[in-house]
Each structure stands twice: as C-alpha cells, then as structure tokens.
Amino acid sequence: MRTEGGVAFFPGLARPTVIDLGTLSPADEARMRDLVAAALAAPPAPPPPKGAADYRTTFLSIEDGGDVHQLAISDVDTDPSRRALLDALGELRRAMSRR
C-alpha cells in the first residue's frame, strides 16, 4: 500500500508499505480478510467532489495466493466498507510503527 496526496508531498511518506496478514493473529487476519472482501465488493468509488483538495488517497495492491486486486481509497470516499478497511489499515500501521 502507498498513500499519496495531503497538504504537502513528502517523498519519504510516499514509499509503499507492505503488510503481511500472515504475521497477524488468526483473529486479526480473519477480520482483515473480511474487511478486504467487503471493500472489494463495494460499489465503485465516485470521483472526488469537484473542488476538493489536499485529501489523501491510499492505493492498495492486494495479493492473495495467485490473485492480485487493486483498490484506491481517498479521504473523501464515504463508502462504509472502504472506510472501515482504511481505518483498520491505519490501526495496523500505527501498531507497526510502535513496535
């Protein structure tokens, strides 16, 4: 995953981050898989509102076995499934940074 946008562009923060669900507890892994499945099944995101600016967009390349899925979730995306996945990924990243 990588995050772009925001009020400024920081090259160091735009680098991709890899989250290996296999390193999570079985319960957390199952929760993340459910969130990913729900986000992938959600209706496509509409374009950002005209005039919106400085919002961030998180691009996800999800590899599962031989399958690869793509998702883009922006701060102005209000779909509850994608927002739930983004919030969970934020929690994971914060937990990773604390280790």
Partner 1 sequence: MTNATGSTARCFAQPHRHSIFCILPPHVLKSLAENGSADQRRRALETMATDQTIRALRAAMPAPVSRTPAGRRLLEAAEAQKERLIHDAKGRTVLPGAVVRSEGDNPTGDVAVDEAYDGLGATFDFFWDAYGRNSIDDEGMPLIATVHYDQDYNNAFWNSQQMVFGDGDGQLFNRFTIALDVIGHELAHGVTEDESGLVYFYQSGALNESMSDVFGSLIKQYTLRKTADQADWLIGAGLLGDAVDGEALRSMKKPGTAYDDPVLGKDPQPAHMRDYLNTTQDNGGVHINSGIPNHAFYQTAMLIGGYAWERAGRIWYEALRDPSLRPTTTFRRFAILTHMTAGRLYGAGGSEAAAVKEGWKRVGIRV
- The full DSSP string for 7-26 is SS--GGGSS-----GGGS-H
Q: Please, which residue, 13 or 30, has the CB nearer to partner 1?
A: 13
Cβ 25 to partner 1 shortest distance, Å: 21
Cα–Cα dist 69/97, whole Å: 25
Positions touching partner 1 (CB under 8 A) are: 2, 4-14, 16, 47-57, 59, 61, 63, 66-68, 70, 72, 74-76, 83, 86-87, 90-91, 94
Cα–Cα dist 55/65, whole Å: 32
Q: Please, which residue, 6 or 34, has the CB nearer to partner 1?
A: 6
Q: Please, which residue, 26 or 68, has the CB nearer to partner 1?
A: 68
Cβ 81 to partner 1 shortest distance, Å: 13
Name the residue among 18, 44, 20 with its Cα closest to residue 33. Answer: 20
Is residue 98 helix, strand or coil? helix
Cβ 37 to partner 1 shortest distance, Å: 19
